[in-house]
Structure 1
Amino acid sequence: MRRWTPIALAAMLGAAGLPATTEAQTRPPLSEVAEIHDGLLAVGIADEIRNKCSGISARMISAFSYLNRLKGQARALGYSDKEIESYVTSKSEKRKMRAEGEAWLQARGATPGVAEGYCRVGREEIARGSRIGLLLREN
């Protein structure tokens, strides 16, 4: 019969006490999950367009439904409600998202303070049937 030496026993007990790798440790931050990030970015851009262009408004039910689908996708990927809430309320993430959205809008020809550029981009997105366009409607 094999006898356990104190060193082998200590090593076994020490290994048993090590924390197991959890899913949270292997999952990327939500900001790096493209389907979630890109979805929230689309909602933010649509919101900016409807706020800057009086001729376009939001499809609020569609927007809330889409946000709920994104939350469901995040949950299905294993993120907790607390992790999701932390991501969407993070001031630093909001700043990054706003900067990315503004850069996207400017690349499409929208100029801060000039409503017509936002209206044009909004109408183009509606006509294309893009994710952003599906969240908007012309008045």
Structure 2
Amino acid sequence: MKKRITAVIVLLATVGIAGNLSAESSLKDEPAVRDGIIDVGIAYEISQQCSSLRARTLRGITYLQSLRTTARDLGYSDAEIDAFIDSRAEKRRLEGLARAQLAALGAVDGQPDTYCTVGRAQMAANTRVGWLLR
């Protein structure tokens, strides 16, 4: 699971939510951005573990781009936004938060059916994670 969530965090940097170490201390505390990134990672992980659910890739990429806009609207520079995602420590922190949230929702590493259950529950509840799945 760790490698998959790491892959999502790397993907986030690739699509442009990425730059400068000064943002690491404050952008990480912005729930609108932080929680959005975690939700995308959780949806991706569910889609990787549960063969009957798929990630809505275009929707996810569009959402990630909107998080960059949100960070800008909050007053962060592109360099600060880039630093937030480029930080290895921040990547590890986000991965840990995503894993903990998945576990709290009932996902058990090595048990794909639990990921399916979590994904379907998220879809039924129309959460952001559910919105990123089909």
- TM-score bin, normalised by smaller chain: 0.7 to 0.9
Aligned-partner SS, 2:108? coil
Q: Which has the larger radius of gyration?
A: 1
Equivalences for residues 26-105 of structure 1 within 5 A: 29-105=26-102
Kindly indicate which of the two structures has a greater share of residues assigned to strand: 1
Q: Normalising by structure 2, what TM-score?
A: 0.78
Distance 2:86 2:41 in 1: 13
User: What secondary structure sits across from 1:85 in the alignment?
Assistant: helix
How many residue pairs match? The answer is 111
Structure 2 unaligned residues grouped into runs of 5+: 1-21
2:121 maps to a residue whose letter is E
CA deviation map 1:30-78 (0-9, x unaligned): 1001111111111111111111111111111111111111100101111
SS of structure 2 residue aligned to 1:78: coil
Runs of 4+ displaced beyond 4 Å: none
Normalised TM-score (structure 1): 0.76
Opposite residue 78 of structure 2, the aligned amino acid is: D
Q: SS where residue 58 of structure 1 aligns?
A: coil
Give the share of equivalent positions with the same residue, in percent.
41
Q: CA RMSD in A?
A: 1.3
